[in-house]
Amino acid sequence: MTRVLVVGSPNSGKSLLFNRLTGLRQKVANFPGITVDTHSGHSRQHPDMELVDFPGVYSLHAVSGEETIAVETFSRALGEGDVSAVLCVVDATRLEKGLVFALQVTEAARRAGKRVVIAANMMDTLARHGLTLDDAGLAGALGLPVIPISARTGSGLAALEQALLEGPDPAAPRDSLLARDETAYRNEADLLSRTYGPRGDLLINSTSRADRFFLHSLTGGISFLLIMYLLFQSIFTWAAPLMDGVEGVLGWFASLLLPWIGNDIARDFLRDAIFGGVGAFLVFVPQIFVLTLMVGLLEDSGYLARAAVICHRPLRIFGLTGKSFVPMLSGVACAIPGIYAARTVESPRRRWLTYLAIPLMPCSARLPVYALLITAFIPAYTVLGGWVGLQGLAMFGIYLFGICSGLLVTALVSRTLGDGGEDAPFVLEMPPYRMPSWEPLLRGAWDRSRHFVYKAGPVIFWVSVGVWFLGYFPNLGADLGHSWLGSLGRLIEPLFAPLGLDWKYGVAILASFIAREVFVGTLGTLFGIEGAEDDVISLAERVQASGLPLGSGFALLVFFAIAAQCVSTLAVLRRESGSWRLPVQMFFGYGLLAYSAAFVTYRLVEWLVA
């Protein structure tokens, strides 16, 4: 068994190469700093070779938290006996930049007695421009193998793996690492790049034209808003047929299975706890798929880096930076990758403020709750051939509310803390625009949805079973109000009565502190038990029929938009911030804020309606 450390600059195509070699599904994106932890996998061609993928860094002189972790981990790994080689990936189209890092890595590896192989990636792009690279000359000058490859097309990968397995013994370090500063590395990289690198202009005019449009003060702002609007509109319009499909399959399966169940209790359990509780949650999974797909599309196209530039100035008003945008947008899919991605924010102060904002981003676990309440209270009215829908607008509105809440909190905290003194400057590489690769995008969205079901599914199953059991007994589902759950619900009812919510919603909110999406499954089970004699109708229709006031519906939306219920998010925050202080403050602070804001919303809406 042999191990190979895979390193490279951001946007060098390292993760795509790692996926090609191992067959794993590491997330690939066109944005600096997308790998936020090390990943390992075995080569498909040579199973005894394990590859370890490190986060992309520009230099061994770390600037951000993410780089510090990557460099420290890399340095430690170099000292391990089973590491045989370092694979350094450089972007052949921007050789001078990649070579600065490659030279640093080569020196460090040689000092540790490890072999180095350089993969000159993106040779397909060079070929498209009619350019080439003198890889033999560069290899001779560096004294190590330089293999031209294309991670996108797969060319050169066999030669690369051969070089990793059978390369020459490591050469002795040329001089002390400490004796060489960044200028020496830069000068050498410049010289090597000029001598052996491609000679020609690789930045195509269309990229500059696109940047002038997408970053223009007017067209950039409008296109940003339009793209974000389409993102949220797509959650409803594009996911709707898929949701109908899941609902149809579940209904068909229930109608097929239930008549065969002779035992009344078993039949009620299957119908209410499984098809009612777990099924109600599964119906919303297509929305998570579409959301992940759309965010991935923006990342892969190169637009996300431009969005970070557009957002930089506005975000500075709230104490954040343009680099906070990607962690916050990741938080729209799930807060956990968002918190990891915040490592790319160099400034500790702005990183801490980004942590504060992320749990308020409308994550996918909130999506089923929002979708249920919006479907129940907002009519499905569309105009412009279905492109603009009232429900989509409402979803956009509640997402905007979450984002604005996050910004407001960071602005208040930032101003309370006062001037942060010296700060890390905003310097961000602009990746080239490119056509997204649909296969990894679809695979990523599928994996994310599957992970969501696997992670939340068991919790929802057991909560649904527990809720059904307490609601069904002791009177065998005859009267939910006098069940064990009914008695428990009435105990906590005074807490939720100021929001116009009865005990059933109180129980569902309490259950949602395990995971937000449990709210939907719990309501599904509760209404399933209560309406067991009815025909199968959707949960949203049952919520409508329950007589829930409009003000309470809006109060629930506001409560879920603010409350920090997710235990996993709080645990990851503890790991990243180094103590329980921030997550505990967040849990109670956001909880209190959520309840107060929900109370005000309920009163306001009911007053307006009256």
Residues at the contact surface with another protein, assessed by CB under 8 A: 58-59, 61, 63, 93-94, 96-97, 100-101, 182-183, 185-186, 193, 201-203, 207-208, 211-212, 215-217, 220, 305, 308-310, 312-313, 322, 422-430
The CA-based angle 419-421-424, given to 5 degrees, is 115
**Residue with Cβ nearer another protein (97 or 504):** 97
At its nearest, how many Å lie between another protein and the CB of residue 141?
19
- State the nearest-atom distance from the C-beta of 123 to another protein, in Å: 15
Nearer to another protein, 61 or 482 (CB): 61
90 in helix, strand or coil?
strand
Q: How far is the CB of 17 from another protein (least distance, A)?
A: 19
Q: How far apart are CA 582 and CA 598, in angstroms?
A: 23
User: Smallest distance, Å, CB 95 to another protein?
Assistant: 8
Between 104 and 449, whose beta carbon lies closer to another protein?
104
In the bound state with another protein, the residue whose beta carbon lies nearer, of 10 and 402, is 10
- Minimum CB separation of residue 90 from another protein in Å reads 12
Closer CB to another protein, 124 or 541, in the complex:
124
Q: Which two tokens stand for residue 518?
A: 């449990």
Between residues 419 and 439, which has the closer beta carbon with respect to another protein? 419
If the CB atoms of residues 126 and 520 are measured against another protein, the closer one turns out to be 126
CB of 202 to another protein, least distance (A): 5
Beta bridge partners of 150: 155
Q: Find the helix packing angle between 135-142 and 182-196, rounded to 10°.
A: 150
For another protein, give the closer residue by CB, 84 or 132: 132
CB 286 within 8 A of CB 242: yes
Of the two residues 211 and 493, which places its CB atom closer to another protein in the complex? 211
Closest distance to another protein from the beta carbon of 427 (Å)? 6
Q: Cα Rg for the chain, rounded, in angstroms?
A: 27
Please choose, from the candidates 224, 415, 424, the residue with its C-alpha nearest in 3D space to the C-alpha of residue 308: 224
d(CA 12, CA 31): 10
3-state secondary structure 157-184: HHHHHHHHHHCCCCCCCCCCHHHCCHHH
Q: What type of residue sits at position 560?
A: F
Task: Check residue 457 and report its DSSP letter.
Answer: H
Sequence-ordered list of residues with C-beta below 8 angstroms from that of 247, at least 6 positions apart, any chain: 283, 538
Helix axes 438-472, 518-530, angle to 10 degrees: 40
**CB of 21 or CB of 60, closer to another protein:** 60
Q: Minimum distance from CB of 45 to another protein (Å)?
A: 32
CA angle 545, 551, 553 (to 5 degrees): 55
Which residue type occupies 353? L
Collapsing DSSP to helix, strand or coil, 5 comes out as strand
CB closer to another protein out of 224 and 469: 224
Nearer to another protein, 185 or 355 (CB): 185
Task: Please report how close the Cβ of residue 350 comes to another protein at its closest, in angstroms.
Answer: 12
Instruction: Reduce the DSSP state of residue 46 to 3 states and report it.
Output: coil
Q: How far is it, in rounded angstroms, from Cα 295 to Cα 288?
A: 11
User: Inter-axis angle of helices 550-562 and 503-511, to 10 degrees?
Assistant: 10
Instruction: Choose between 209 and 451: whose C-beta lies nearer to another protein.
Output: 209
State in angstroms the smallest separation of the CB of 305 from another protein.
8
SS3 for 132? Answer: coil
Which has the closest alpha carbon to 53: 35, 30, 72, 27?
Answer: 35
Look at the chain and count its residues: 610
Please state at what angle helix 567-577 crosses helix 581-609, rounded to 10 degrees: 140
**What is the smallest separation between the CB atom of 428 and another protein, expressed in angstroms?**
5
**Shortest Cβ distance from residue 105 to another protein (Å)?**
13
**Which residues face 118 on adjacent strands?**
88, 146
Task: Give me the half-sphere count of Cα atoms (radius 13 Å) on the Cβ side of residue 311.
Answer: 25
The least CB distance from residue 354 to another protein, in Å, is: 17
Give me the residue label for tokens 């970070």: 308
CB of 317 to another protein, least distance (A): 11
**Which residue's CB is nearer to another protein, number 194 or number 581?**
194
Query: Which residue, 100, 57, 103, is CA-closest to 186?
Result: 100
Tell which residue, 242, 248, 269, 247, has the closest CA to residue 258: 269
Nearer to another protein, 102 or 291 (CB): 102
Q: Which of 508, 511, 505 is nearest to 547 (CA)?
A: 505
Shortest reach from residue 98's CB to another protein, in Å: 10
Strands 382-383 and 388-389: antiparallel
3-state secondary structure of 566: coil
